[in-house]
Amino acid sequence: MRKLIVVTGGTKGIGRAIAVRFAREDFDVAICARKPDELEKLKREFGQHYPAARVYTLSADMADRKQIDSFVNFVTQIGQPVDVLVNNAGYFVPGSIATEKEGVLEDMMNANLFSAYHMTRGLVGQMTARKSGHIFNMCSIASIQPYANGGSYAITKFALLGFSKCLREELKTAGVRVTAILPGATRTASWDGVDLPDDRFMSAEDVAETVFAAWALSKRSVVEEILIRPQLGDI
């Protein structure tokens, strides 16, 4: 049976690069994102470049619990075991804790943390039943290094790393691997408008390659955390 990777927020940046990397290795791909037109565009492009890969898409906002449940049900109804889950959905709003807009913390907790929590709860049962699977949580340098103007984003990413650590302990005897990815500045749409040369950023493809390499290890080993920075350091 073909393998299946599930990627939340997978039409752009790191999520898309990960989906591409696994599709190149004959994985089928299930992806959600908020914008249906971007999902349709991705599906067409995958059909052109990776025709062997079956691509399943659903428009869903991972900040909304009901839509998370809809995506879990959508993936379950594919009828194919989930080999890899990448909890990638999330976003960044700059600001300081004292002055950022009311509700920013709650909104980013929904998107950056609770989406991973509920997606994992929805799909991990089938992994533990098979004693096989790999869960990647897209954390951040901000998970370990707070910075000015990071505000609620850093709080949510610290929490996501804590979630990953707890999950790793719970699943180690169940045959399910858990890896936290902590990328530094990566050239994605989040950095549009920033006047810095490309060599100050990592590429999304480098992050995807690292994720794939962690998955490709034998099941006897797990990379618990991957910290990856631009060669010239943090921005």
| pLDDT tens by residue, 41-57 | 999 999 999 999 999 99
Average pLDDT of the chain? 95
Average pLDDT of span 165-175: 98
Average pLDDT of span 110-122: 98
Domains of the chain plus CATH, in order, are 4-228 (3.40.50.720)
Does 190 have pLDDT greater than 80? no
Distant-in-sequence, close-in-space partners of 98: CB < 8 Å, separation ≥ 6? none
Average pLDDT of span 92-107: 94
CA distances from 13 to 68, 155, 162 (A): 21, 22, 24
DSSP H helices, 24-150, are 36-49, 65-77, 104-109, 115-130
As a residue count, the chain comes to 235
Query: What are the structure tokens assigned to 166, written together?
Result: 């707890």
Reported confidence tier of residue 146, pLDDT bands at 50, 70, 90: confident
Does 196 have pLDDT greater than 90? no
CA neighbor of 105 nearest in space, from 162, 164, 144, 150: 150
Does 193 have pLDDT greater than 70? no
Task: List, for residues 57-70, the tens digit of each pLDDT value.
Answer: 999 999 999 999 99
Q: What is the pLDDT of residue 195?
A: 72
Radius of gyration of the chain (CA): 17
**Which residue type sits at 137?**
N
Task: List, for residues 14-46, the tens digit of each pLDDT value.
Answer: 999 999 999 999 999 999 999 999 999 999 999
Q: What is the pLDDT of residue 59?
A: 98
CA neighbor of 122 nearest in space, from 204, 197, 65, 184: 65
Average pLDDT of span 147-156: 92
CA distances from 220 to 18, 132, 164, 173 (A): 23, 11, 19, 11
Does 191 have pLDDT greater than 70? no
